[in-house]
Structure formats: structure tokens, C-alpha cells
Amino acid sequence: MKKINLKRFNNSNIRGRNRELNKQKAGQAPGLLIFSGEKKVDLVKGQQYTYDSKDINFIESENIDTLFHLFDDSKVNWINIDGLSNIPLLEKIGKQFNLHTLLLEDVMNLNHRPKFEDYGDHIFFTIRMFNGVKDGTLDYEQVSFVLGENYVISFQEKPQDIFNIIRDRLTTGVGRMRQKGADYLFYRLIDTIVDHYFFAIEHFADELEVLEEEVMANADDQSLVKLQHLKKDLVYLRRSVLPVRESLSSLIRSESLLIKKDTGPYLQDVYDHTIHVAESLDSCRDLLTSIKDLHINALSNKMNEVMKVLTIISTIFIPLTFIAGIYGMNFEYMPELGFHYAYPVAWVVMISLTIIMIIYFKRKKWL
């Protein structure tokens, strides 16, 4: 039987980083850039795709000025930044694209609640991305997007992501991406992240199924520990996924000029996917609750079995104890004491009573 990995999301570390961030920001001016997360890369790098329907150019560099040099206002530009610990680099990007300091502050907050904000000439959208399952645990990170007239900037913690299929389509020219604008690229990035939520939920559902089998086979303290870990995971998933639905709803209702009319139905489709994700999470929560009830019932049944066995044993020994008690009183005038075969007769009576009671319990299916 498959075993469940107990290495889970370290929520205590997340809460600790949040407390540290709050301490550092307490009393500081709004928009102050402070990186308080775990440093995932030593060297911050950037990649840029500049493309239209005819051609595409790609460059990767540690120097952000090199990326700016390739930027073309007449084409779609996708700038991806890996690593958020370089504050001067983020400030340079913010200055180049006239990004608000509060926006950059949200980018550096690695535990920010998913949200959407419209700044007029650009849109900000932050979301939690699940990269897959590694060593039996869900790998996740915070991703932020900035959508402008002809550009999309993505900020993430580490180089590994789930956007290779988009890069391949851009490079090969397959599909409609090269014929569309920056808003369509923005949609495809968000859609890819939302689609991977289903993989995370499937992984979670598989673990619940395995745990259900373990509980049915043997409900013990270890199963209870696994239940608590899975419950924490589910809470984290809900906190990461459910706000995305609200953010997408706000994005669709914003009527921003940066979102073209023909891109609206695609965003509505992503919103529908988030509803499906929410329903799947509710199903997982219901299953988790039922497994918890099953665990409680299994423990109660175990206790009832133990009590039933002890009750049967006590019931068998009650008449035997009664006989032994009667003939253990040592009164002087007890007629049976003088009988030569009194001792073996007492044994025969007690053994017969025991056999009769056992047969009776079996017929009643109490044994």
C-alpha cells in the first residue's frame, strides 16, 4: 500500500516570515521595498521574448539594461524575472515602466493574498503557482504579473516554472499566440497556472484516497496525524486558490482598455475553471471530514469490540465466581463438603456452565 509522505507545507515558517515582514514594515513609509522571503536563487536573471506574427527574438541576461535594449514598442514583449531579492533591479524596472512603489512592494511580498489592481496604464495581478509534486509534496511559489499596452512582466522566485509550453508555442509559432497581443499572453499565463491547480487537487485527492484505505484497515494515532497534516494542506490550498476567483471577477468587471474585447471570453473561461477548482476543493473538504468521521467511528468500534470481549469474559466468570464464593464460605454444616466427589462435580458444573454460555453467545452472534 502506498504510504503518505508526512513532509507537508511548513505553515509555521510562512507565519514566521509574515511576522518578520510585519515587524520590518511597522512604522515605515508605504511602498518601502523589503524582501523577507527565503532566497531561492543567488543571481537574479531575466529573460525577454519580443515577438509579432512574423518573427521572435529571445535574450537572457543578468543585466536588466540588456533586456531594455531589446524592448520594441511595436511588438509584444514578455519580460520574466527569476529571483526577487535584488531590490535595486526591481526599482530599476519600476522606474523604466513607471510602476507604483506599492505595486513593487506587493511583488516582493512572497505570501501576498492573490489580488488584481488596475493602475490605468498597467494592470497588476498576483497569484500562487503550483509547479508540481516533488518528493511527495506540492511545490509552490508566488508569481506576479504586470500587463501594459505591449508588454507583460512576470516576477517569480525561482527559474523553474510551468510556462515551457507557452515558450514553445511562441518559439515555434504554433497556435494564435503570435497573432495576439500582450493581453492574450497575460491570459495564457494565468490560464496555465489555474490549470495546474487541478493537478494539485488530484494529488491531494489521491492522498485522501490512500488515507481512507489506511483508516479502514487500521485506524491509529498515525492516521490521525496524517489527517491533521492533510487538513492544514487543504486550508492552505483554499487560501491560495479561492481568492483567485475574486481577482479574476474584478479583472473581468474592470473594463480596462488593456484587455481587448476578444480576450474577455477567454478570461471568463478561466473564471469558470476557478469555480470548478473551488467545487473540487469543497469535495476534498467533505471527503476529509468523512475520513475523520470514519476514523472516529473506527476507534469507537475498536473500543466496543474490546468492551464486548471483556463483558463476555465477565459474564462467563460471574456464575463461576458465584459457585466458588458459595463453597468458599467454610461454614461448618454444608452437606456438600462431606460428599466424596464434591470437588470434581464442582468442576464439571463450572465447565458445563462455561460451555453452555459460549454456545449461547455464538448462536446470538455475540462472538
Q: Which three cell numbers stand for residue 87?
A: 531590490
Q: What is the CA radius of gyration of the chain?
A: 34
Structure confidence at residue 182 (pLDDT) = 93
CB within 8 Å of 227: residues ≥ 6 apart:
211, 288, 291, 292, 295
Q: What is the pTM of this model?
A: 0.75
Position with higher pLDDT, 11 vs 253: 253
Structure confidence at residue 274 (pLDDT) = 92
Phi-psi region of 83 (alpha: psi -120 to 50; beta: other; left: phi over 0): left
DSSP 185-199: HHHHHHHHHHHHHHH
CA 133 distance to own-chain centroid: 11
Q: Name the β-bridge partners of 76.
A: 51
Pairing of strands 151-156, 76-82: parallel
For residues 141 and 131, give the distance between their C-alpha atoms in angstroms, rounded to a whole number: 8
- Residue type at position 83: G
Structure confidence at residue 189 (pLDDT) = 94
Structure confidence at residue 4 (pLDDT) = 43
Counting Cβ atoms within 10 Å, is residue 30 exposed (0-12), middle (13-18) or buried (19+)? exposed
CB 44 within 8 Å of CB 83: yes
Q: Which three cell numbers stand for residue 331?
A: 461454614
pLDDT beyond 90 at 31:
no
Q: Which three cell numbers stand for residue 162?
A: 510551468
Q: Dihedral through CA 38, CA 130, CA 18, CA 15, nearest 10?
A: -100
Structure confidence at residue 61 (pLDDT) = 84
Q: What are the pLDDT digits (tens) for 296-347?
A: 888 888 888 888 888 888 888 888 888 888 888 877 778 877 788 888 888 8
Q: What are the pLDDT digits (tens) for 89-135?
A: 888 888 999 998 888 888 888 878 889 999 989 999 999 888 777 76
pLDDT beyond 50 at 27:
no
CB 212 within 8 Å of CB 294: yes
For residues 270 and 273, give the distance between their C-alpha atoms in angstroms, rounded to a whole number: 5
Q: What are the pLDDT digits (tens) for 178-229?
A: 999 999 999 999 999 999 888 888 888 888 888 888 888 887 778 888 888 8
Domains and CATH numbers, the chain: 11-297 (3.30.460.20), 309-363 (1.20.58.340)
Counting Cβ atoms within 10 Å, is residue 75 exposed (0-12), middle (13-18) or buried (19+)? buried
Indicate the average pLDDT of the chain: 82
Q: How many CB atoms lie within 10 A of CB 19?
A: 11
Structure confidence at residue 341 (pLDDT) = 83
